[in-house]
Amino acid sequence: MKILVCISHVPDTTSKINFTDGDSKFDTNGVQFVINPNDEFGLTRAMWFKEKQGATVDVVNVGGAETEPTLRKALAIGADSAIRVNTTALDGFQVAKELAKVARDGEYDLIIAGRESIDYNGGMVPGMLATLLKANFVNNCIGLEIEGEKAKAIREIEGGKETLTASLPLVIGGQKGLVEESDLKIPNMRGIMQARKKQLNVIEPSEPETKTETVKFEKPAPKGNVKMIDPENLDELIDLLHNEAKVI
């Protein structure tokens, strides 16, 4: 079984976010980048298939050379090889189109993407990728088993879970639950050394085709000042909630 895991290169959630050029571009200075968490759950599940069923696992990213450390981390975790599509990720459709070409050329049985990335939270790429490939698709996937050409997937729905069966090739949008956080793999020294010798292929993109354009970024409004009230002074608390906050 051949598995392709789509990896997004995203800012760590602890990073301080700023914008430049009139708030039209993201400022990457001083920002630590990591594997998108939803993608990391998918990569960990792919490693399970590699260990238990002898699957081969490739990882792919659409981005410039600055994303290669993230791909190297995926290789250190245990992926067999990496592919970088040498272009800036502009929008979900463009990324899905580039990923579809890689998946089609590699004739993969299973394509694992994260449900969404934690930078733009678009949640568009897995579904568009499946459509472009004319492959079966399960989103919000929290469980996956493969037996031969058949897959059993569990996805999260409102108020519960749904179990589905599908034939390969299959695209999934994974999330927490596909594996638990305690199952995530931390690269060890041996894995890091092996990653340096593994193949990282850089391929040129097809003609860029986008459907959206980022016009401007805007930070959330800053939180207001906090007013501390003595826990014994309930009259003052009620007065402030009624006359100042106007919530009662």
pLDDT 10s digits, 170-197: 999 999 999 998 889 888 888 898 888 8
pLDDT of 201 = 94
pLDDT of 110 = 97
Token pair of 93 as six digits = 């459709």
Q: What confidence tier does 246 reach under pLDDT thresholds 50, 70, 90?
A: confident
- Domains in the chain (CATH in brackets) are 2-218 (3.40.50.620)
Q: What confidence tier does 33 reach under pLDDT thresholds 50, 70, 90?
A: very high
SS3 151: strand
pLDDT of 108 = 97
How far is residue 42's CA from residue 7's CA, in Å, rounded to a whole number?
A: 9
Q: What confidence tier does 228 reach under pLDDT thresholds 50, 70, 90?
A: confident
For residue 111, give the nearest of 64, 74, 57 by alpha carbon: 57
Calculate Rg over the CA atoms of the chain: 22
Token pair of 81 as six digits = 């090889």
For the cut 90, the answer to whether the pLDDT of residue 59 exceeds it is: yes
Rounded to two decimals, the pTM is 0.86
Average pLDDT, the chain: 92
